[in-house]
């Protein structure tokens, strides 16, 4: 009883009652004590003390020698008793008691002690209101049966114990919960302060006290105004965090010099003054604010458009760049208007976006055309991220948008120019090549291949290899000039054509420069002017011949008058009987030389004159055979072989067989002379064939060749010794062939020996041929 302490009044009365009950225990007394026990159970705050008292009083009530309570605690069964078990006579082991207490069922039970038959143990289960076994009351006493009233008494005792145990259990739970709550509040890093209506601090959490450097209890009772050092709301209230005390909830941001707080306030309104409380929770949002500010600054200052949008394309937020890009006045204007339908000229593209976002979550470098406020089109490049909701659907799109309109326009223009250039390159009649500075072909346009060159003989090859060897140095010099940055225009060179033959080309070389202005390639434009060059040469020749013809004609006419007089008077003198015979010889010489002069003039005239040819169908083969026959003696006696290669089906031509024979004879005579001069075994080949509307006669020899093929047909151009020829033979041939509407050409053979003359004459019409056939 000493544990109770002298102050407890109730303890004193209990001690008195206990003293009385030791003498006699009538039923009414027992009931009284039971009520006392119940009161004690309800009031006790310390479970072990209570259980000791309880066990002692229970033993007294049940007239037992010893009492205890076994409680089934979480850590295992525990025995509480006022008197140590060991001092009881014949006491059983503690383990036995505990085991028995656990074994008993729902009813009180009397057991014989294992060592001492003269004593019994009585076990009464303690059951909770939910019929859960909380423990057992154990009593040791002399062996006798339990009377009914004793059983009821014991059950009443057990139920009091149950009540007390349950209460203690709940109480300790509450205590723990309260302790946890305070710990939880203290664990919150946000500052929490509670004050009453008189602006006194009722409580702060540990974070706030720690921040101020004091224990939490130190602030209790202080004026809430002392917390101004944290931060302050502008206003006249004594609390630095209150704004409107009529509101049950408030939220606002306050800041000090270096900190920003979000203040969330709750008030218990409508309570009596001393009950009313105001709770402020101060959340330090300085870092968040800073992060937000930086984010916003970045968001607004970035030159790319940024947007947050709903899946259907409505903007939730955009930055200034985006507003500018789309041509709106302000962010609000763009966000306010439901611009979706206007903004997307191709709404079907949105489906594609959603499809992609659903599948991949992101869309990289997506090109979309949007419509600006003023109606013009904006070409954009976007990177979009889809934000999914809990169900996995795209709930929001976040994106970055680049204005690529200029690039797009530039690209389109570039494309147009490229197409244009490509068309030019592909359709031009000139060959266009690109060479690197080493002169290797890196590109050749389509025309090159159309002209018959093969890719493998162009790409990667030296262009100079195509140029005639005689002009390679000149071409390489031009290439060198171009490589030094200067353009070379209209270089005329002979080069290999697509079909392998040599042709004339007009070549222009232009340097191409890299970014550093250094020449890195050369563009070569080659135009095949072979036909033009030949035509020009022919025209020039024809013109020269015509001029010579007019000159010769004029000279011949002028010479004919004096010749006529000389010849005439000489005749007169010869017939004159007064002239002595001695003078006759001189006169004959004059006559002879005049005759010779006359012949020269006549030859000149026959070159120049456009005498109409005898219009008859002629067979060139027959004429050629007759011509050869005229010289066959000389040929065989001088070892000159004549080879005939005639097309027996050669069509007839219209002409004068006499004149044509003169032409062929002249050519054959020249061939013979050239062979004689060369001093080798001679060979003259005569070949006829048809080409288009013409027939060709080619006469090839293996003589000395021609020193100047360009001037060979000019009058008085001769390679023969003076007196051997007049230099008019081929001029006359030229005149005759031209009068036949044909052409005569000559060249030195590729073999290096001799030359070839080609006479080309038009084919006779069918009518003329038929007439000739009829004539036989």
Residues engaged in binding another protein (CB under 8 A): 553, 556-558, 560-569, 571-572, 575, 594, 598, 605-606, 608-612
Burial of 85 (0-12, 13-18, 19+ CB in 10 A): middle
- The residue (of 309 and 563) whose beta carbon lies closer to another protein is 563
667 touches 733 (CB < 8 A): yes
CB of 575 to another protein, least distance (A): 7
SS3 state of residue 284: strand
CB of 730 to another protein, least distance (A): 18
| Of 540, 503, 470, residue with least CA distance to 710 | 540
CB of 603 to another protein, least distance (A): 12
| Of 731, 739, 687, 690, residue with least CA distance to 712 | 731
226 touches 204 (CB < 8 A): no
Distance in angstroms (rounded) separating the CA atoms of residues 149 and 156: 10
Burial of 678 (0-12, 13-18, 19+ CB in 10 A): middle
- Paired residues of 384 in beta bridges: 363, 399
CB of 601 to another protein, least distance (A): 8
SS3 state of residue 79: strand
Q: Parallel, antiparallel, or unpaired: how do β-strands 260-267 and 133-141 relate? A: unpaired
| Of 650, 625, 633, 618, residue with least CA distance to 768 | 618
Apex CA 588: angle with CA 584 and CA 593, to 5°? Answer: 150
- The residue (of 109 and 594) whose beta carbon lies closer to another protein is 594
563 touches 598 (CB < 8 A): yes
- The residue (of 126 and 605) whose beta carbon lies closer to another protein is 605
CB of 553 to another protein, least distance (A): 6
- The residue (of 445 and 594) whose beta carbon lies closer to another protein is 594
Q: Parallel, antiparallel, or unpaired: how do β-strands 640-645 and 682-691 relate? A: parallel
Question: What angle, 0 to 180 degrees and rounded to 10, lies between the N-to-C axes of helices 657-678 and 620-637?
Answer: 30
- The residue (of 555 and 650) whose beta carbon lies closer to another protein is 555
- What one-character DSSP code corresponds to residue 104? -
Distance in angstroms (rounded) separating the CA atoms of residues 251 and 262: 7
- The residue (of 187 and 564) whose beta carbon lies closer to another protein is 564
- The residue (of 352 and 557) whose beta carbon lies closer to another protein is 557
Distance in angstroms (rounded) separating the CA atoms of residues 414 and 410: 6
256 touches 230 (CB < 8 A): yes
Q: To which H or E segment does residue 183 belong?
A: helix 148-187
- The residue (of 86 and 575) whose beta carbon lies closer to another protein is 575
The alpha carbon of residue 53 and the mean position of all alpha carbons in its chain are separated, in whole angstroms, by 89
Distance in angstroms (rounded) separating the CA atoms of residues 48 and 74: 15
418 touches 332 (CB < 8 A): no
- The residue (of 549 and 754) whose beta carbon lies closer to another protein is 549
Q: What sign does the dihedral 17-21-22-24 (CA atoms) show? A: positive
192 touches 184 (CB < 8 A): no
- The residue (of 365 and 561) whose beta carbon lies closer to another protein is 561
CB of 765 to another protein, least distance (A): 23
- The residue (of 530 and 553) whose beta carbon lies closer to another protein is 553
- The residue (of 671 and 733) whose beta carbon lies closer to another protein is 733
Q: CB 282: neighbour CB atoms within 10 A?
A: 24
């Amino acid at each position: 009883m000493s544990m109770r302490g002298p102050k407890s009044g109730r303890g004193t009365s209990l001690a008195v009652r206990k003293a009385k009950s030791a003498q006699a225990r009538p039923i009414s007394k027992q009931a009284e004590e039971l009520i006392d026990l119940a009161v004690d159970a309800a009031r006790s705050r310390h479970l072990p003390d209570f259980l000791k008292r309880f066990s002692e009083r229970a033993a007294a009530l049940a007239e037992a020698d010893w009492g205890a309570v076994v409680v089934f605690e979480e850590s295992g069964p525990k025995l509480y008793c006022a008197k140590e078990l060991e001092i009881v006579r014949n006491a059983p082991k503690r383990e036995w008691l505990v085991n028995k207490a656990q074994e008993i069922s729902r009813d009180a039970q009397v057991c014989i002690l294992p060592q001492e038959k003269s004593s019994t143990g009585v076990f009464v289960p303690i059951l909770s209101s939910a019929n859960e076994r909380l423990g057992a009351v154990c009593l040791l006493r002399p062996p006798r049966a339990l009377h009914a009233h004793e059983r009821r008494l014991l059950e009443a005792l057990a139920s009091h114990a149950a009540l007390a145990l349950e209460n203690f259990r709940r109480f300790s739970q509450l205590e723990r919960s309260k302790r946890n709550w305070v710990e939880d509040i203290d664990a919150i890093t946000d500052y929490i302060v509670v004050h009453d209506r008189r602006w006194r601090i009722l409580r702060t959490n540990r974070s706030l006290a720690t921040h101020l450097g004091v224990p939490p209890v130190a602030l209790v009772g202080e004026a809430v105004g002392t917390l101004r050092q944290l931060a302050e709301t502008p206003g006249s209230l004594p609390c630095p965090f209150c704004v409107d005390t009529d509101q049950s909830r408030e939220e606002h941001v306050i800041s000090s010099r270096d900190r920003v707080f979000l203040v969330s306030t709750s008030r218990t309104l409508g309570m009596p003054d001393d009950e009313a409380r105001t709770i402020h929770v101060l959340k330090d949002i300085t870092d968040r604010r800073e992060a937000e500010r930086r984010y916003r600054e970045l968001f607004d200052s970035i030159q790319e458009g940024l947007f947050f949008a709903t899946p259907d394309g409505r903007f939730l937020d955009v930055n200034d760049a985006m507003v500018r890009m789309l041509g709106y006045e302000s962010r609000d204007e763009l966000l306010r208007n439901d611009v979706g339908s206007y903004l997307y000229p191709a709404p079907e593209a949105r489906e594609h976006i959603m499809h992609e976002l659903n599948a991949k979550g992101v869309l990289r470098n997506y090109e979309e055309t949007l419509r600006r406020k003023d109606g013009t089109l904006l070409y954009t490049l976007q990177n979009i991220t889809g934000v999914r909701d809990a169900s996995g659907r795209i709930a929001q799109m976040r994106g970055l948008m680049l204005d690529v309109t200029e690039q797009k326009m530039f690209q389109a223009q570039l494309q147009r120019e490229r197409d244009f250039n490509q068309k030019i390159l592909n359709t031009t009649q000139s060959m266009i090549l690109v060479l690197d500075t080493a002169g290797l072909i890196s590109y050749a346009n389509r025309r090159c291949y159309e002209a018959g060159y093969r890719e493998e003989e162009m790409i990667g090859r030296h262009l100079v290899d195509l140029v005639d060897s005689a002009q390679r140095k000149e071409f390489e010099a031009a290439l060198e000039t171009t490589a030094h940055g200067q353009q070379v225009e209209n270089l005329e060179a002979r080069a290999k054509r697509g079909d392998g033959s040599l042709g004339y080309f007009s070549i222009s070389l232009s340097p191409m420069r890299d970014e550093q202005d250094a020449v890195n390639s050369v563009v070569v434009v080659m135009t095949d002017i072979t036909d033009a060059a030949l035509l020009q040469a022919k025209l020039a020749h024809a013109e020269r011949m015509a001029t010579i013809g007019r000159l010769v004609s004029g000279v011949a006419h002028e010479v004919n008058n004096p010749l006529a007089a000389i010849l005439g008077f000489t005749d007169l003198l010869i017939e004159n009987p007064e002239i002595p015979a001695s003078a006759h010889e001189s006169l004959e010489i004059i006559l002879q030389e005049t005759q010779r002069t006359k012949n020269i003039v006549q030859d000149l005239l026959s070159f120049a004159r456009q005498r109409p040819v005898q219009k008859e169908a002629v067979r060139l083969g027959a004429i050629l055979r007759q011509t050869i026959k005229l010289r066959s003696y000389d040929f065989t006696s001088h070892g000159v072989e004549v080879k005939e290669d005639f097309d027996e089906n050669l069509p007839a031509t219209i002409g004068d067989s006499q004149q044509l024979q003169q032409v062929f004879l002249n050519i054959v005579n020249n061939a013979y002379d050239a062979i004689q001069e060369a001093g080798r075994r001679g060979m003259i080949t005569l070949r006829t064939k048809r080409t288009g509307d013409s027939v060709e006669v080619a006469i090839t020899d293996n003589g000395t060749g021609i020193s100047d093929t360009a001037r060979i047909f000019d009058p008085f151009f001769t390679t023969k010794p003076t007196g051997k020829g007049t230099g008019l033979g081929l001029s006359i041939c030229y005149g005759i062939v031209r009068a036949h509407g044909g052409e005569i050409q000559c060249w030195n053979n590729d073999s290096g020996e001799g030359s070839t003359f080609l006479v080309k004459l038009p084919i006779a019409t069918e009518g003329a041929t038929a007439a000739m056939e009829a004539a036989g």
